[in-house]
Structure 1
Amino acid sequence: MADSKHTHEPVAGLFTDDSGHQRCFWCEASPLYKHYHDHEWGFPVDDDRRLFEKLCLEGFQAGLSWITILNKRESFRSGFANFEAEELSRFGEKDIARLLADAGIVRHRGKIESTINNAKRVIELRREFGSLGAYVWGYESQAGQERPKVNTYDAVRAITATQASLALSKDLKKRGWSFVGPTTMYAFMQAMGLVNDHIDGCHVHKAAAEARNRFKIPQRS
């Protein structure tokens, strides 16, 4: 008799690990990637530091894979003052030179300068909305209306941007942010739980949905 852990029918876009859990196709590469998938990706976040960090790291990911950035995340945190916007906004040319010499991060001058610029912009945004969380979660309703249910491999792979991510991107650019294109913003929305793109059958899909049901959207102050 077959072990019940290994009786899942194959589903496009999912893989089954040795424990018998089915997961989304993209996290198979390493234990770190699986942990990120299981405990972070798709779960709602209202913490300003984490939101800002993800916005910055999604910008660094442009042209690269997320696993590349994830493997370097601790070095990014160390180099960029743990993405505390107030401290990061004070970085100058000496800091840029230091970061360009740091092999632990992605050494791209434009992205480094963009991160410092965006730290200044997030401080401005907080003055207007009270928090970064209140601002970004204002786009969640539109995101949900656009895509009430995406639960197949083909559907998830087909979407790279939506009207909600386009609107978020456009508004951030108007406010002076950079490296915040609509595809980058959609990846941010997926990661921070504004949409739940765990494929139906992934063992994390239900947990992410339940977390969203419990989540209280931060309000503008």
Structure 2
Amino acid sequence: MERCGWVGMDALYEAYHDTDWGVPEYDSRALWEKLILDGFQAGLSWITILRKRENFRAAFQGFDPNIVATWGEEDVLRLLGDPGIIRHRGKIEAAIGNARVWQQIEAEGGFDRFLWDYVGGAPIQNKWQSLAEVPAQTDLSVRISKDLKKRGFKFCGPTIVYAFMQAVGMVNDHLVTCPCHLPVARLGQAPRT
């Protein structure tokens, strides 16, 4: 069995694929972090984000949305001067605004519940044979994207949302020939803790 073909030979990518990608994530803060990182990835390769992930975590105070929600122009300027992250004003401002929206959704019953309710609380188990079968977006990612945008989220188009859904295990898109497919499928059947 071989890993999913998108991994390549990069050790960082391999570790991410083997231990993180597709594993069901139910923590509201961690879900927000991954959605923000997927937004920063727009127009770039994911390996670029992986290489900067720890810098992002430091710059964004551990991706604590309650802290980020309080930030203003001074913080935007600080982040624009940080070479360890993607210095894009629109994405930085979106992350701050998205933290404020996260707070609203969290207060209404949880960001985790908001997202996982779209899939009935359990991952969609796909059985793709090849990368050519894996979609870039789905009707569901279009719906979630529209709903997030209605709430005020930015940098959350349908393709970003689908990549996010794959990353946090809302869908199991490991190919059936990948050694991670079955373990991730089993994690999706385990009771939520």
Give TM-score, length-normalised by structure 2. Answer: 0.94
Identity %: 47
Deviation at 1:141, TM superposition (A): 4.0
2:112 equivalent to 1:133: yes
1:150 to 128, 136, 140: 128
Q: How far apart, CA to CA, are the structure 2 residues paired with 1:150 and 1:137? A: 22
- Aligned residues, how many? 193
Deviation at 1:93, TM superposition (A): 1.3
Kept in 2: contact 1:151–1:198 (CA 8 A): no
2:96 equivalent to 1:116: yes
Kept in 1: contact 2:2–2:178 (CA 8 A): yes
- Residue deviations 1:118-143, cap 9 Å, x none? 000000001112x1110100112499
- Residue deviations 1:65-96, cap 9 Å, x none? 11000100000000011111110101111111
Kept in 2: contact 1:44–1:215 (CA 8 A): no
- Aligned residues: CA RMSD: 1.8
1:191 to 143, 157, 167: 167
Larger Cα Rg: Structure 1 or Structure 2?
1
- State the match for 2:72 in structure 1: 92
Kept in 2: contact 1:44–1:212 (CA 8 A): yes
1:44 to 21, 24, 28: 24
Seen in structure 2, the aligned counterparts of structure 1 residues 62 and 210 have a Cα distance that, compared at 3 Å, is: same
Q: How far apart, CA to CA, are the structure 2 residues paired with 1:148 and 1:64? A: 26
Q: Which sections of structure 2, spanning at least 5 residues, go unmatched? A: none
- State the match for 2:157 in structure 1: 181
Deviation at 1:48, TM superposition (A): 1.2
1:54 to 22, 25, 34: 34
Deviation at 1:97, TM superposition (A): 0.8
Q: How far apart, CA to CA, are the structure 2 residues paired with 1:207 and 1:172? A: 30
Give TM-score, length-normalised by structure 1. Answer: 0.83
Matched AA of 2:108: E
1:208 to 170, 184, 187: 184
- State the match for 1:25 in structure 2: 5
Q: Which sections of structure 1, spanning at least 5 residues, go unmatched? A: 1-20
Deviation at 1:169, TM superposition (A): 0.4
Deviation at 1:215, TM superposition (A): 4.0
